[in-house]
Amino acid sequence: MRLVGDNVQMGIYPLQEALKIADEQNLDLVEISPKADPPVCKILDYKKFLYDLRKKEKEIKKNTQKVVVKEIRFGPQTDEHDYEFKKKYAMKFLQEGNKVKAYVFFRGRSIIYKDQGELLLLRLAKELEELGKVEQLPKMEGKKMIMILAPLSKKKKN
């Protein structure tokens, strides 16, 4: 096997000799590339290696951004004041970097006002176009008409 490491003369060694060298340094012999010809092994402290690996994974996980979806509910005949109030919250959510799921809930016979619900959602999308983009156009799902807005990426804002 090919032996590599910090305090080791790189070269090809038999398994017993590689184990002996690792034991003399109070380190572990770890197989890095088993499919290579000959297989590559490295002499290192395995517990420290695992610790560093977990630390890197945690760092990567910490830097990933979690997507949060906030919901805003409208009725098909939402009046102007309520609309403005809910639009203000949608603006706040988009500025914080959250997605907004705006939906119009049709209760009972109000399902006949589908066109009003769609106009309401499209109006919201038009008024929020400088903060976010429409990810999903209004579409009916059961008794709800749903539209999803995603915040504009930070690169586009600058």
pLDDT in tens, 137-150: 888 888 889 999 99
Whether 10 has a pLDDT exceeding 90, the answer reads no
Q: Which tokens go with 137?
A: 């156009």
Give 107: exposed, middle or buried? Use CB within 10 Å, 0-12, 13-18, 19+: exposed
Burial 25-57 (b: 16+ CB within 10 A, else e): eebbbeeeeeeeeeebbbbbeeeeeeeeeeeee
Place of tokens 């706040």: 92
pLDDT at site 11: 87
**pTM (two decimals):** 0.56
Radius of gyration of the chain from its Cα atoms, rounded to whole angstroms: 30
Q: What element of type H or E holds 156?
A: helix 154-157
User: Can you list the domains of the chain with their CATH numbers?
Assistant: 2-61 (3.10.20.80), 69-157 (3.30.110.10)
Average of per-residue pLDDT across 45-73: 87
How far is residue 61's CA from residue 70's CA, in Å, rounded to a whole number? 22
- Strand pairing partners for 43? 5, 29
pLDDT at residue 45 in the model: 87
Q: What pLDDT, on a 0 to 100 scale, did the predictor assign at position 8?
A: 82
Rounded mean pLDDT of 57-84?
86
In the β-sheet with 99-105, what is the strand arrangement from edge to edge? Answer: 69-74, 99-105, 144-151, 132-141
- Report d(CA 85, CA 116) in Å as an integer: 18
Average pLDDT (60-80) is 85
